[in-house]
Amino acid sequence: MVSLGCPKALVDSERILTRLRADGYAMSADYAGADVVLVNTCGFLDSAKEESLSAIGEAIAENGRVIVTGCMGNEAELIRARFPDVLAVTGAHQYEAVVEAVHQAAPASLGPYIDLIPQADPGEVKLTPRHYGYLKISEGCNHACSFCIIPQLRGKLASRRIDAVLREAEKLVAAGTRELLVISQDTSAYGVDVRHEERTWKDRAVRTHMTDLARELGQLRSPDGQTPWVRLHYVYPYPHVDAVIPLMAEGLLTPYLDIPFQHAAPSVLKAMKRPANEAKVLERLRQWRAICPDIAIRSSFVVGFPGETEADFQYLLDWLDEAQLDRVGGFRFEPVAGASANDLPGAVPEAVKEERYARLMEKTEAISAARLAAKVGRTLPVIIDEVGEPDEDGDVGATGRSQADAPEIDGAVYLRQVPATLQPGDIVQVTVEEADAHDLYGFVAGS
């Protein structure tokens, strides 16, 4: 399996592999040992499509028997034109079609007698480390943002049953997951499509709603009685988001929100077809920090959107000075086939995009450095991702993350001289000694 793209695609890969393992298939560590190669593609940006096509080409060259799935699956003609030898092409989250294609390409060879024996439940396949996992609560999106084709790739919002989500979360925590990362295309809209229907969970009614979900996830406990970290991603700042901030202050949710603001200038937000309430957002950020001072806000912004003026861009920089976001990702606008933004006037020259991107990164790096510097001297909870080998003096270092750091996308905490008993997944108290623009450095308190 070659899995590309976002965490939502990674969850799709996990589900496909879980079903295949239940059918008796095993994963190969390399191309040479595989009867068939699955390539789960990303089709959000043209650069992502090129990466997907490159991965398909590599799999064809190295193995020859390739099944393509994922977001780029809706461009089957393009894929087949480039690679006529692919065995099958399916779209995003079409699990049954992928499994059927594998059955046809590499039939399971259990034999007629073994086939009659009920197979043991192999459990869920995880492609993340044991101590953290993604919890996908819905598929698709009801927004019509002018730069995005996600609804075309993954359809309209389709929320999972809340009791099924909670059951999956409970199983993950029982199996050793210490951090749950809640993902979707629009976490705040969870349940809108089913009118926030109620389901029974633990002998009580719970609504299919983000706040109910957050409250119930905050009640989960590990086998040793610890509260797992619960991190909310892709949260649009709807009014009801205010209700989850007290849960963070109480320690039931990780004090972290990933909010895709995309821009701040009203004219650009309007052209993007996104809510233009940036002033109100600033006030809400102040209120959230008053309730939960340690809350970390992550976001991403697009520069060089069609029609973006220098004044619009400066508005964004000034807004960031006010917002003081902890973690920021930046993207240069890139036309996506099928997106309505491609037809907007006022295309921004590539050189201007690059210059604005550099200024955005300079601004956000300075904000990040200042916010991290303020943590020097504090003692913070840190989840351990990796423990190193002893150096020539026998000292062991480790890499972890604070509650302000999601895996893969945010910073890290680097630890020196950790106890020999430390393991990935342990949550320890760390005293911060130093900070740079992105990362923290320290030692386990009391060690």
Give residue 118's pLDDT: 41
Confidence band, pLDDT 50/70/90 cuts, at residue 196: very high
Strands 379-387 and 37-41: unpaired
Say how far apart CA 9 and CA 3 lie, in whole Å: 7
| 94 in the same domain as 6 | yes
The residue-averaged pLDDT of 272-288 equals 84
| 411 in the same domain as 366 | no
- The answer to whether position 292 is within a domain reads yes
The residue-averaged pLDDT of 413-442 equals 95
| 419 in the same domain as 284 | no
Q: Indicate the angle between helix axes 95-105 and 7-22, nearest 10 degrees.
A: 50
Calculate the alpha carbon distances from 50 to 53, 54, 55, 147, 375 in Å: 5, 6, 9, 18, 41
The residue-averaged pLDDT of 18-41 equals 89
The residue-averaged pLDDT of 228-238 equals 94
More confident residue, 125 or 134: 134
Say how far apart CA 327 and CA 258 lie, in whole Å: 9
Q: What is the pTM of this model?
A: 0.82
Give residue 278's pLDDT: 63
- The answer to whether position 124 is within a domain reads no
- The answer to whether position 126 is within a domain reads no
Residue type, 98: V
Average pLDDT, the chain: 90
* pLDDT tens figures, 103-133: 999 887 654 444 444 444 445 677 788 899 9
The residue-averaged pLDDT of 137-141 equals 91
| Counted domains in the chain | 3
| 225 in the same domain as 166 | yes
- The answer to whether position 383 is within a domain reads yes
Which letter, b or e, does each residue of 18-37 get, where b requires 16 or more Cβ atoms within 10 Å of its Cβ?
ebbbeeebeeeeebeebebb
| 334 in the same domain as 284 | yes
Which pair of tokens denotes residue 406?
């999601």
| 246 in the same domain as 209 | yes
Dihedrals phi, psi of 253, to nearest 5 degrees: -120, 150
Domain finish residue from 373, 401, 418: 373
The residue-averaged pLDDT of 76-82 equals 91
Say how far apart CA 141 and CA 155 lie, in whole Å: 7
| 148 in the same domain as 86 | no
Give residue 23's pLDDT: 82
| 294 in the same domain as 401 | no
Enumerate residues 6+ apart whose C-beta is below 8 A from 111: none
198: domain CATH number is 3.80.30.20
Give residue 276's pLDDT: 57
- The answer to whether position 252 is within a domain reads yes
CB atoms within 10 A of CB 416: 15
Residue 299 has pLDDT above 60, yes or no: yes
DSSP 416: S
Domain finish residue from 323, 350, 373: 373
Contact by Cβ (8 Å): 217, 206: no
398: domain CATH number is 2.40.50.140
* pLDDT tens figures, 318-335: 999 999 999 999 999 988
Domain finish residue from 116, 148, 173: 116
- The answer to whether position 123 is within a domain reads no
Domain encompassing residue 181: 132-373
- The answer to whether position 289 is within a domain reads yes
| 327 in the same domain as 205 | yes
Give residue 117's pLDDT: 42
Residue 171 has pLDDT above 70, yes or no: yes
| 278 in the same domain as 385 | no
Confidence band, pLDDT 50/70/90 cuts, at residue 221: very high
| 222 in the same domain as 368 | yes
* pLDDT tens figures, 259-276: 999 999 999 999 999 865
- The answer to whether position 122 is within a domain reads no
Give residue 112's pLDDT: 46
| 142 in the same domain as 97 | no
Confidence band, pLDDT 50/70/90 cuts, at residue 390: confident
Helices (H), 294-388: 310-323, 350-373
